[in-house]
Amino acid sequence: MATTEQPQLERKLGLFQSTVINMIDMVGIGPFVVLSIVIQLMGGPWFLYAWLAGALLSIIDAMIWSELGAAFPLAGGSFNFLRASYGEKSWGKLFSFLYVWQTMLQAPLVVASGAIGFAHYFGFLVPLNDVTSRIVSGTIVIVLTLLLYRKIETIGKISILLWSGVIFTMLWIIYGGISNGHFTEPLRHINDGFTLNAAFAAALGAASVKTIYSYLGYYNVCHLGGEIKNPSRNIPLSMILSVLGIAALYISMNMSVVSVIPWQEAAKSEFVVSTYFETLYGHNAAIIATILILWVAFASLFAVMLGYSRVPYAAAKEGEFFEVFAKVHPTRHFPHIALLGLGITAFVFSLLFKLSQVITAILAMRIVIQFIGQAIGLIILRKKNKTVMPFKMPLYPLPIILAILIWGFIFISTGKEFILSGGIVIISGTIVYLIKSKKSLQWPFNQ
């Protein structure tokens, strides 16, 4: 009796599409919402240092992702990296399970944060109360899920269309600052009143939590590793291009906004970028700009849901998560059950939480297992000397050491409440893993 072969993912995404998907993931509603928050936290014109700190950490961490992504170009990203680094039959089983466990919580939180931020800026066009704001955020999640329910090559084309709107919006913001003749003023006054002390370090840590949130997504291509052409070249290159390009856009955008609106006023503005356009070009231009900002937010959520839907699929395919998530659509060849599960959970979260809570929770939940865990894992992998690494970072192991130290600083800066919540996620995941392993006689309960 003939057996029906399980549909597989297809390598259809090239360098340009991979870079585009990374960039639209990174430039979501985050930089527009947290711009004012970062200025508030820093309390002075030196707020640009927080954006530079986010860029520095992103480029260093991208080196780690590049090595691992090029060596293991498979769907699921960190799931595969942690298994390979810590041992597929020992600790790697626990760490990879914990990553998927936290992803099932933090991935919907990422989507929810973007949807909540979308509703926030939508309030500039149409005044919203608490109920109607939640309706808008929930509706966005539903629309995104339906739009992603299609073949990967179609997704690549949609991504390019969305990316064009992202780039146009950012360039318009930057042009406004350059054209008013005061674009470089924020940079000239960056050190006004600056004092390097413990208070500055604490403020930089708190502000960097927000800026790094805005940079997250440079590694999205690793989640799609099984669908990338020539992955040993395109995965590292797409990440480096993404981080450098977005860092230039973010810093230029901040300089543009503060060259028009004094930082003291920008810190208090609820819709700072819309206010920026209104100051420059009038109310009608501000409406158009706000619509474009919503386009950017939508594009980012599109990329986020695309990448994270591959994580539970990859784990389930290896027998490390619930089997139902391993299913691939019979004709469209994408993990449809994983996508629907992510969409449903994100919809619920978008109705329950507030944006400021979600942003900090996302980072606190991921730093220990994913970012620090796989950084240490890369050192272990290199010492094993069994895996061919198509890409090797310069100045090894300095980028890894710096990444671990900075991520540790950021983790502490999230505060006791979120450190505790991150610990609870790890402990609960470990308990679930041990129960699951005991029943199936897997490590550490195998003979």
Q: Is the pLDDT of residue 333 over 90?
A: no
Q: How confident is the model at residue 286 (pLDDT cuts 50, 70, 90)?
A: very high
Give the pLDDT of residue 357. 67
Q: How confident is the model at residue 2 (pLDDT cuts 50, 70, 90)?
A: very low
> What residues pair up with 13 in beta bridges, in sequence order?
228
Percent of the chain scoring above 90 in pLDDT: 63
- d(C-alpha 231, C-alpha 238), whole Å: 10
* Better-predicted residue by pLDDT, 221 or 318: 221
- Global confidence as pTM: 0.86
Q: Work out the average pLDDT over 279-283.
A: 94
Distances (CA, A) of 115 to 58, 104, 256, 366, 378: 24, 17, 26, 20, 34
Q: What is the mean pLDDT of the chain?
A: 90
Cα angle value 421/424/430 (rounded, 5°): 150
Q: Counting every residue, how long is the chain?
A: 447
Pick the most confident of 10-24, 349-363, 392-406: 392-406
Q: Is the pLDDT of residue 356 over 70?
A: no
Q: Is the pLDDT of residue 440 over 90?
A: no
Count other Cβ atoms within 10 Å, centred on residue 357: 16
Give the pLDDT of residue 5. 63
15-440 CATH, one of 3.90.650.10, 1.20.1740.10, 1.10.10.10, 1.10.10.60: 1.20.1740.10
Q: Work out the average pLDDT over 263-277.
A: 93
**How is 16-68 classified by DSSP, letter by letter?**
HHHHHHHHHHHSSSHHHHHHHHHHHHHTSGGGHHHHHHHHHHHHHHHHHHHHH
Give the pLDDT of residue 405. 96
pLDDT in tens, 341-351: 999 999 999 99
pLDDT in tens, 159-181: 888 888 888 999 999 999 999 87
Give the pLDDT of residue 3. 46
Give the pLDDT of residue 299. 86
Domain ranges within the chain, ordered by starting residue: 15-440
Residue 149 backbone phi and psi in degrees, to 5: -80, 65
pLDDT in tens, 375-408: 999 999 998 876 678 999 999 999 999 999 999 9
- d(C-alpha 320, C-alpha 306), whole Å: 21
Q: Is the pLDDT of residue 445 over 50?
A: yes
- d(C-alpha 354, C-alpha 344), whole Å: 18
Give the pLDDT of residue 18. 93
Structure tokens at 422: 């991150």
pLDDT in tens, 79-104: 999 999 999 999 999 999 999 998 88
pLDDT in tens, 195-235: 889 999 999 999 999 999 899 999 999 999 999 999 999 99
Beta strands in 323-380 (DSSP E): none
Q: Work out the average pLDDT over 106-128.
A: 90
**Of 335, 302, 305, 306, the residue nearest 321 (C-alpha):** 335
Q: Is the pLDDT of residue 153 over 70?
A: yes
Q: Work out the average pLDDT over 275-304.
A: 91
Mean pLDDT check: name the lowest of 217-221, 321-325, 372-376, 430-434. Answer: 321-325
**Of 343, 342, 329, 396, the residue nearest 141 (C-alpha):** 343
pLDDT in tens, 102-115: 888 888 988 998 89
Give the pLDDT of residue 1. 41
